Amino acid sequence: MRVDTTDLEDVLVFRPEPFRDDRGVFTRTFDVRVGERVGVRSADFVQDSQSRSVFGVIRGMHGRAGRGEAKLVRCAHGAVHDVLVDIRKESPTFGAQQAFTLDDVDFAHLYVPPGFLHGFQALTAVADVCYRIDREHDPAEDIAVAYDDPDLAIAWPLPVTVISARDAAAGTWAALVDSL
């Protein structure tokens, strides 16, 4: 399993080597020893979750107040266009964003440290995203910035088909920056 750095400080991509044959595919999704070499400790993650989205759905852009949360994110079925925005004021990449394709072909696995906005758009009829977080979910700490905020100007690949009521009511990037 290879580990790539990214344009965003401290964000990593774990790249497994899927095995394919006539039956289908086998892939290791995470390797504790590889993680430990780059400071990502599997034991730190306390909740594993999965969401299923239909074509064109956008979920995001979500963050967490307080000390934030670290995430490991992968797409188990289908494909998503996954976007991260660095909201750590002290970071050299503060305000920068990067997009990643997560799919069930390469099985790339993103490590997102605390202090990021995260969102994705489903590129396939069904897209299952699995993620692990290092703190128990607490809706009181939810942060959301509009997926179509003009200052963020995220280039989503498809017209949005469905978003949640929470995401439709999300705040602006400018308001978030003022609050940091």
Given the rule CB under 6 A, which residues bind ligand TDO?
Answer: 49, 51, 59-60, 62, 118-120, 137, 164, 166
Nearest approach, Cβ of 167 to ligand TDO (angstroms)?
7
Shortest separation between residue 144's beta carbon and ligand TDO, angstroms: 8
Q: Tell me the two tokens of residue 146.
A: 């509009």
Contacts of 71 (CB under 8 A, 6+ apart): 110, 111, 112, 118, 131, 132, 133, 134
**131 classed as catalytic:** yes
Q: Please confirm, yes or no, whether 62 is among the known catalytic residues.
A: yes
Smaller CB separation from ligand TDO, 88 or 118: 118
Q: Which is nearer to ligand TDO, 17 or 142 (CB)?
A: 142
Is residue 60 within 8 Å of 51, Cβ to Cβ? no
Min. distance of Cβ 71 from ligand TDO in angstroms? 6
**Considering beta carbons, is residue 49 or 179 the nearer one to ligand TDO?**
49
If 0-12 CB within 10 Å is exposed, 13-18 middle and 19+ buried, where does residue 5 land?
exposed
Residues 82 and 179: their CA atoms lie apart, in Å, by 25
List active site positions. Answer: 62, 131
